Amino acid sequence: MAKVAFLGLGVMGYPMAGHLQAAGHEVTVYNRTAAKAEKWVSQHGGQMATTPRGAAEGAEFVMACVGNDDDLRMVCTGEDGAFQGMAEGSVFVDHTTVSAKVTRELYAAAKARGISFVDAPISGGQAGAENGVLSIMCGGDQAAYDRAEPVMQVYAKICRRIGDSGAGQMTKMCNQIAIAGLVQGLSEALHFAEKAGLDGRAVVEVISQGAAGSWQMSNRYETMLDDHFDHGFAVDWMRKDLGICLDTADETGASLPVTALVDQFYKDVQKMGGGRWDTSSLIKRLRAMG
């Protein structure tokens, strides 16, 4: 078992850190709001620190799951950042969805300190984190990945190294691009069924067993039909991710017309007050249109 620091106890990080502690690792947590760290320690045991540096001191592995590029920079290289407390030879594993640009920047900064940096964004939502069945897509040096992979397996359904630094984040972009189109298509199908006077549940029972079936359909159609949208990844975070995808597409020359369109649909949802609704709330936009 290893000495591990976990930075960021949001809806994903909180249960992920819990899985590490339950597996026998020695876990120290840090959260920007200390009350959340105190709650985690009272529930899971382990220890808490008041700074990323304090959490990282003596840790073999430092895992992070924070909000965006700026948050990640802060916990890594900011005042009392984790890199200042990490020993040479230790490994930083970033589960945040951020740009490949900041990933490569921090990979280089870590390397200069003798630290390894693995980008390891996750997919599977809050339920995947709570049940320990996340998909983890990784970039970074093979040796660093090989060391970190057994630790990540504690909360993974699948964990794979895709390539060099940034490859994990690029793969997560593929994930979000695919989801955007799927959710819009599912929203339109369910909205069409409603307008046609069909029983949505009966429709999904049939079409989910054919070529139209997807994780989104199986896990979100009932809450979409019931107009409940507090069951997963928030629209605000999805727009952050799609912004990264679209910026990167401009850099690479990729064409993402559907992604760009769905991003604007999510902007409409935000204007409806749905920034904290889950991503399946695209159907609410269609219902509002009549």
Per-residue model confidence as pLDDT tens digits over 170-193:
999 999 999 999 999 999 999 999
Q: What is the mean pLDDT of residues 35-59?
A: 98
Over 90: is that where the pLDDT of 140 sits? yes
Measure Cα distances from 198 to 57, 218, 225, 275 in Å: 59, 18, 12, 29
Q: Catalytic residue numbers? A: 172
pLDDT band at 271 (very low <50, low <70, confident <90, very high): very high
Structure tokens at 288: 């509002």
DSSP codes, 78-129: STT-HHHHPPTT-EEEE-S---HHHHHHHHHHHHHTT-EEEE--EESHHHHH
Pair type for strands 26-30 and 91-94: unpaired
Residue 104 pLDDT exceeds 90: yes
Question: What pTM was estimated for this model as a whole?
Answer: 0.94
> Which of these ranges, 25-34, 98-107, 135-144, 227-236, has the smallest mean pLDDT?
227-236
pLDDT at 57: 98
Residue 211: count of CB within 10 angstroms of its CB? 6
User: If pLDDT is split at 50, 70 and 90, which confidence band does 265 have?
Assistant: very high
Confidence band (pLDDT; 50, 70, 90) for 231?
Answer: confident
pLDDT tens readout for residues 68-98: 999 999 999 999 999 999 999 999 999 999 9
- Banded model confidence at residue 290, pLDDT cuts 50, 70, 90: confident
pLDDT of amino acid 212: 97
